[in-house]
Amino acid sequence: MNLNLKVWRQNSPDEKGQMVDYQLEGISEHMSFLEMMDVLNQKLINSGERPVAFDHDCREGICGSCSMFINGEAHGPVKGTTTCQLHMRSFKDGDTIFIEPFRANAFPVIKDLVIDRSAFDRIQHSGGYISVNTSGNTQDANATPIPKENADLAMDAATCIGCGACVATCKNSSAMLFVGAKISQYALLPQGQVEAKDRAQNMVAQMDAEGFGNCTNTGACEVECPKGISLSNIARMNREFLDGSITK
Amino acid sequence: MSTLDGKIPGGPISEKWTNYKNKVDLVNPANKRNIDVIVVGTGLAGGSAAATLAEQGYNVKAFCYQDSPRRAHSIAAQGGINAAKNYQGDGDSVYRLFYDTVKGGDYRSREANVHRLAEVSTNIIDQCVAQGVPFARDYGGLLDNRSFGGVLVSRTFYAKGQTGQQLLLGAYSAMNRQIARGKIKMYNRHEMLDVVIVDGKARGIIARNLVTGEIERHSAHAVVLGTGGYGNVFYLSTNAMGSNVTAGWKAHKRGAHFANPCYTQIHPTCIPRSGDYQSKLTLMSESLRNDGRIWVPAKKEDAQAIRDGKLKPTEISEEDRDYYLERRYPAFGNLVPRDVASRAAKERCDEGHGVNATGEAVYLDFAAAIVRYGKEQATIKGEDNASESRIKELGKAIVKAKYGNLFDMYKQIVADDPYETPMMIYPAVHYTMGGIWVDYNLMTSIPGCYAIGEANFSDHGANRLGASALMQGLADGYFVLPYTIGSYLSSDIRTGQISTDTKEFDEAEKQVKERIDSLVNNNGTNPVDYYHRKLGNIMWNKCGMARNEEGLKEAIKEIAELREDFWKNVSVPGKANELNQELEKAGRVADFLELGELFAKDALERNESCGGHFREEYVEKSGEQKGEALRDDKNYAFVSAWEYTGVPSEAILHKEKLEFNDIELKQRSYK
Tell me, letter by letter, the H, E, C secondary structure of B43-105: CHHHHHHHHHHHHHCCEEEEECCCCCHHHCHHHHCCCCEECCCCCCCCCCCHHHHHHHHHHHC
Decide: B1 and B651 in contact? Cβ < 8 Å.
no
Residue B517 has what pLDDT? 97
pLDDT band at B1 (very low <50, low <70, confident <90, very high): low
Please indicate, yes or no, whether residues A19 and A89 belong to a single structural domain of this protein: yes
**Is the domain of A185 the same as that of A101?**
no
The type of residue at B447 is P
Sign of CA dihedral B605, B608, B614, B616: positive
Q: Are B231 and B239 contacting, i.e. CB atoms less than 8 angstroms apart?
A: yes
**Does A23 share its domain with A138?**
no
Residue A77 near residue A95 (C-beta atoms within 8 A): no
- Those residues with Cβ within 8 angstroms of residue A109's Cβ, 6 or more apart along the chain or in another chain: A10, A13, A17, A101, A103, A115, A116
3-state secondary structure B375-421: HHHHHHCCCCCCCHHHHHHHHHHHHHHHHHHHHHHHHHHHCCCCCCC
Question: Which of the four pLDDT bands, split at 50, 70 and 90, describes residue B436?
Answer: very high
Average pLDDT over residues A135-155: 95
Domain shared by A167 and A66, yes or no? no
Chain B residues touching A56 at Cβ < 8 A = 241
**Same domain for A77 and A133:** no
Last residue of a domain, one of A88, A110, A132: A110
Regarding beta strands B59-63 and B36-40, do their DSSP bridges make them parallel or antiparallel, or are they unpaired?
Answer: parallel
- Alpha helix ranges (H) inside chain A: 33-46, 118-125, 148-158, 165-169, 176-187, 196-209, 220-224, 232-247
* Contact criterion met (CB < 8 Å) for B131 and A132: yes
Range B51-66 average pLDDT: 98
CATH number at residue A184: 1.10.1060.10
Same domain, A137 and A212: yes
Q: Say if CB B472 and CB B285 are below 8 A apart.
A: no
Could you give phi then psi for residue B9, rounded to 5 degrees?
-65, 155
**Mean pLDDT value across chain A:** 97
Mean pLDDT throughout B375-398? Answer: 95
Nearest to A145 among B142, B581, B582 (CB): B142
Contact B161, B403 (CB under 8 A): yes
Going by the DSSP 8-state scheme, the letter that residue A96 receives in this structure is E
Rounded-to-5 percentages of helix, strand, coil across chain A = 40, 15, 50
Cα separation, A34 vs A46, whole angstroms:
18
Average pLDDT over residues B24-28: 94
Q: Which residue of A has its CA nearest to B76?
A: A62
pLDDT of residue B5: 95
Residues A37 and A18 in one domain: yes
Surface-to-core class of residue A188, CB atoms within 10 Å of its CB (0-12 exposed, 13-18 middle, 19+ buried): buried
Domains defined along chain B, listed by start: 271-428 (3.90.700.10), 503-634 (1.20.58.100)
- CA B48 to CA B173: how far, in whole Å? 10
- The whole-angstrom distance between B87's CA and the closest CA on chain A is 9
pLDDT at position B579: 97
Report the pLDDT value the prediction gives residue B627, as an integer from 0 to 100. 85
* A85 and A182 share one domain: no
Chain A residues whose beta carbon lies within 8 Å of the beta carbon of residue B581 = 51, 53
One domain for residues A122 and A89: no
Which residues on adjacent β-strands are paired with residue B456?
Answer: B436
Percent of chain B with pLDDT over 90: 91
Last residue of a domain, one of A110, A128, A143: A110
> For residue B401, what pLDDT is reported?
85
Q: Are residues B132 and A60, on separate chains, in Cβ contact within 8 Å?
A: no
Q: Are residues A186 and A84 in the same domain?
A: no
Contact B90, B98 (CB under 8 A): no
ipTM greater than 0.85: yes
Expressed as residue numbers, the domain containing A16 is 3-110
Whether A248 shows a pLDDT value over 80: the answer reads no
CB-based contacts of B343, cutoff 8 Å, min separation 6: B545, B546, B614, B629
Mean pLDDT of A119-148: 96
Convert the pLDDT of each residue in B269-290 to its tens digit: 999 988 888 999 999 988 899 8
Average pLDDT (B153-174) is 95
Query: Is the CB of residue B142 less than 8 Å from the CB of residue B73?
Result: no
Per-residue model confidence (pLDDT) at position B150: 80
Average pLDDT rounded to a whole number, residues B622-642: 93
> What number is the average pLDDT over the span B67-82?
96
CATH number for the domain spanning A89: value is: 3.10.20.30
Q: How many whole angstroms from its chain centre is CA B278?
A: 21
Could you give the number of structural domains in chain A? 2
Pick B127's closest partner by Cβ from A46, A138, A146. Answer: A138
Pick from B473, B454, B475, B553: which is nearest to B231 by CA?
B454
Same domain, A130 and A35: no
Domain boundary among A87, A110, A133: A110
Selecting from A81, A139, A155 the residue whose C-beta is nearest the C-beta of B159 gives: A155
What mean pLDDT do residues B226-254 have? 98
> Within this chain, do residues A79 and A137 fall inside the same structural domain, yes or no?
no
Interchain contact, A30 vs B188, CB within 8 Å: no
